[in-house]
Every structure is written in C-alpha cells, then in structure tokens.
Amino acid sequence: MAGVQGCIGLVSALQRVLLSGEAAITAEVMPPRGGDPSHALAMAELLRGRVHAINVTDGSRAVMRMSSLALCRLLLDAGHEPVLQMACRDRNRIALQGDLLGAHALGIRNLLCLTGDPVKAGDQPGARPVNELESVRLLQQVTAFNSGLDPVKETLADGPTSLFAGAAADPHASSWSGLSRRLERKRKAGAQFVQTQMVMDAAVLERFCRELAAPMELPVLAGVFLLKSARNAQFINRMVPGACIPEALIERLASAENPAAEGVAIAAEQVRRYLGIAQGVHLMAVKAEERIPEILRLAGVSSQAVSSQQS
C-alpha cells in the first residue's frame, strides 16, 4: 500500500489537462461479464499513451458487469489513469459513501457521477433498484467529502478527500430549459467537468457548449460513439433513450462497402470536428475498443501530444 498512500494527495492528469484548457481525450472500457479482467486490461493497453484517462462503466444499461471500482484499481496498478463511473441505482447512501472513500484510499481520483439507467432497461428487470440518491446529490456528497465533512460526525477523522468529479449531460435532450436547469444544479453541486452522451450533430454540441457549458465554466468532453453498421445504428435509435442518429449517417453506413470501416471514419470525422468545439472528446466503442486507436489516428490525434500533456 506504500504506493497508494504516496499518491493520496495528487491531482490527476485529467484534472490538470482540463483545468489548463488543453484538449483532453478519454475513452471508455467496459468491465467483463465475469471474474476475469484480462480482456478489459488488454483493451486498455491499446489505449496507452493515446488517451488521458480510461473511463470504466458502472452497470451500464442495468446489465451485470464486474465492479467499476475493482477494474479502476487494476487499471491504476497497470499504470493507466482511470475514471470511476459511479451510478446511484444499486446502492444506498451508506454504500455510495463507503465506495467514495474507498476509491480515494485506492488512489482513484477521477469520478463520473451518474443516476444510472433504469433496471427495466437491463436483462434482470425483476431486480430491486435503490435510487436513494441521484447524480446531483452524489455530487454534493463528493463536495462534502472534499471539504472534509462527515455526514454524521461533522468532520472526517483523516481530513478531506481530493476527488475530481464530473457529470453527464445529453445535448440532444428534448427540453433545452430542463437541460440548462439540470446542468446548473450539477455545477452548483460540485461538477468540475461534463461528459456528454453520444453527439451526432455538431451544431447541437456547439450550442450546448456556447449557451450552457461555457457560461458555467464547465469543460466539456463530447461523446463520440462508434457505429458498426446501419443495423447497429437503427437498433440504438430504437433502444437507447434519447438517441437520435441521423438518417443520413444510417444511409451512409448502409451503402458502404465496409460498414465497420465507415463507422471508424465517421467517428474520426466527429473527433476532428468536436475538438474544434468542445475542450475534449470521450470515445465509446462498445465491444470494439480495439478500433479506438485507429479512430484517433485518422482524426490526427497524436499519441505524442497526449503523452507530453500527461508528463
């Protein structure tokens, strides 16, 4: 534990990059549906030097996966910088508080606070959700811990934590005023950056950054989602709440000789475009993380530039 104790007070590389105003690159890795983390770690290894941090999902789509906290620690041990996703759906406040303190003790600094997908969206719809907290109240708890406050005994016995917490947002939300109010609540609760859901329209992202995130001084990581085929895109539009993949992109995938390669090309175009709008991008390639380096290469994102920012 000597190495962990030595990094307790350190600021994360992602925090340094975002707060400096430089471009940031993150990518998502899904924990395994089992007890062997080797594939997830292998996917993370492909991202070494290409991203500033690796985001680990937490029960995404209400489907059982290995603990995000466990995989984040394994990534840290392997020399990667993780972003711990923490969803409120499955744990009460005591469990969430314990996991926050545990993450800090393990040297994990980056955190994405989420409410969590509804249980009915997953493959165990009979499971009982908890939902005692949601993302805003989880952010408030992180802020309290970072201020050294104990929820019962006034102050934490061993001093404040130093967690770097972000929030999620959907620029394609149907209610712009509702999105604005929700984002402002998250900012006031302590969010220090925003990671968006998949964005398929650069104009929507530009408006989100200009009218909402910039006035709130929140750096934005724009979500880039790898589409594998026209059928995959149509499935996402049907099954993922809020997804709105344009018909023009679906037709482009359908007419492509190699739809998988076309999906990579589309993602690379989005990375290039979005880096001119938002401060960074967050890449999501579900069950195809091995394609992320090619997306970044086609987008002209240099691994040397990322490595120099991390040093």
Q: What is the pLDDT of residues 21-65, one digit of tens each?
A: 999 999 999 999 999 999 999 999 999 999 999 999 999 989 999
pLDDT at 261: 97
- Provide mean pLDDT across the span 182-211: 97
pLDDT at 223: 98
Q: What does the block give as tokens for 207?
A: 């408006």
Q: At what angle do helices 135-146 and 93-105 cross, to 10 degrees?
A: 50
In this prediction the pTM is 0.93
Closest alpha carbon to 68 in 77, 58, 60: 58
Unique residue bearing structure tokens 């925090």: 15
Closest alpha carbon to 168 in 186, 189, 145: 186
The one-character DSSP state at 83 is: E
Does pLDDT of 305 surpass 80?
Answer: no
80 contacts 52 by C-beta, under 8 angstroms: no
44 contacts 80 by C-beta, under 8 angstroms: yes
299 contacts 2 by C-beta, under 8 angstroms: no
Q: What is the pLDDT of residues 269-300, one digit of tens each?
A: 999 999 999 999 999 999 999 999 999 999 99
Strand partners, 283: 27, 224
Does pLDDT of 130 surpass 70?
Answer: yes
pLDDT at 310: 59
300 contacts 269 by C-beta, under 8 angstroms: no
> Phi-psi region for residue 142, left (φ > 0), alpha (ψ -120 to 50) or beta?
alpha
Does pLDDT of 307 surpass 80?
Answer: no
- The domains of the chain, with CATH numbers, are 2-226+278-310 (3.20.20.220)
